[in-house]
Amino acid sequence: MLSNSRRHNSGKERQCANLEWLDLSGNAIAQLGPLAALKSLAVLNLASNRVCSLEPLGSCESLQSLNLAGNLVSSLQQLQCLTGLRRLESLRLRDALGRLSNPVCAAGTYRSALGDMFPGLKAIDGERVSGRGSELYQLCKDLDSSLGPPQASEQPPRPPRPV
């Protein structure tokens, strides 16, 4: 893991052709060129960087999970180069817990557009959209939003205070 190490394209990535998991989060990375050689890479965390051009990742044919939350991806067009990644199951552009996002996430329809662009995705932004458990997840999410926050009149009564 090279998280928060502020490494910049050292060339070491080419020596790791069989690398399957890589965490480069928080490194102020803007260029991904050296990652194109990582054909066996399955999991890549690029959260909290300065990435806007994703073309080199189109060569990472084994990629299954990609975290891009907290970068500079501003349009769906920038993601087009990843549509050939047939094994991609999880794509994260936004992380609400970490308060990380990309400019493209401001468009309210970006999640449905991602589903159209990447029909094989099982998770978008950490939420199940297909596969095992997705129906239950969606049902719980819909139920939660329909209930909304509890009203003051719905609060359970408080026990009396001791005197």
List domains and CATH numbers for the chain. Answer: 12-144 (3.80.10.10)
| pLDDT for the residue numbered 1 | 46
Output the pLDDT for position 85.
97
**For residue 45, which of 65, 15, 71 has the smallest C-alpha distance?**
65
Give φ, ψ of 69 to 5 degrees: -60, 140
pTM: 0.74
Average of per-residue pLDDT across 91-120: 93
Confidence of residue 147 (pLDDT cuts 50, 70, 90): confident
- Of 32, 37, 76, nearest in space to 54 by CA: 32
Q: Give Dmax (Cα) for the chain.
A: 73
Q: How far apart are CA 38 and CA 56, in angstroms?
A: 10
Please state the rounded mean pLDDT for residues 31-45: 96
At position 118, the amino acid (one-letter code) is F
Residue 46 pLDDT exceeds 80: yes
